[in-house]
Copies of this chain bind each other. A is one copy, B any other.
Amino acid sequence: MTFETLDIRRDGAVVFATITAAPINLIGPALVRDLVSFVIEAEADAGIQVVVFKSGDPDFFIAHVDVTRISEYRQETIPLAGEPSLGLLFRRLSLSRLITIAQIEGRVRAAGNEFVLACDMRFAALETAIFAQPETGYGLVPGAGGMQHLARLVGRARALEIMLSGEDYNAAIAERYGWINRAMPAAELDGFVRALAQRIAKFPASARNGVKTRVNSLTLASAEEFREDSDLFLERSRDPVSQARTQIALQQHGFQTREGELDLARQLDRLS
């Protein structure tokens, strides 16, 4: 399996998929196309049981979507999602027979955070991982499942705080909030995730599927709920207030540039 924005390495029944969408791992048409192809191929290979998603960039796991190419990347979701919707693509990933683990180092914000929320588990480096759901700062709402997952995982008050503040959260707080499974020192993270992935991959698939199917039936929001959020995001992205803020962010605040995104939370302060 060879992709433009994913580096694939296989070890037995575990595949390590490293995101390499330079310069800052934006979710654009290329990354969505590659993710879709990768999942289709991996699901078709009965020898693959577990997928670990990592980043090739120490500063960014996934920045967020490329706001200048929304309709393009949405089109790329169709082969797996059945309709143009990043939220429904991510929901489809949560339903996969593959067990997915996000190994998070660096920043993961907005739809990037929604991607890791769609994974079955999330482990993050205490020193470098940064989480945020900053859409409201741009007049948008999380449209790819973040509202669904956060409301269920961290409860009403913390979900509102995360999404209304748009602030950066480190891995220690993310763990305390129940946003991620666990935070640990970067030096331990790789070995921990590798051992966990191999262990899970060796257990009988039939039992694994039984558990995942039941847990999804109890915890995963319906396609209808994801679609409603997806539509609300699209509606807001066409709103003049949102478009104006996004343009100013792009032109004056380094939005979608490496330097501007390093401290996005403070850029948002200046935008207001």
* Chain A residues in the interface with B (C-beta under 8 A): 99, 119-122, 135-142, 147-149, 151-161, 163-167, 173, 175-176, 178, 180-182, 196, 199-200, 202-204, 206-208, 210-212, 214-216, 218-221, 225, 228-229, 232, 236, 239, 241-242, 245, 268-269, 272
Contact = CB atoms under 8 A, between A and B. Distances in A.
A152 B153 contact: no
Closest 5 CB pairs between A and B? A202-B272, A156-B219, A139-B204, A136-B207, A151-B218
User: Quick one: copies of this chain in the complex?
Assistant: 3
Nearest to A94: B156
Contacts of A166: 199, 203
A218 B219 CA distance: 12
Contacts of A208: 136, 164
Contacts of A216: 156
A243 B214 CA distance: 22
A214 B229 contact: yes
Given A204-B245, A232-B210, A157 B180 contact: yes
B204 A141 contact: no
B219 A207 contact: no
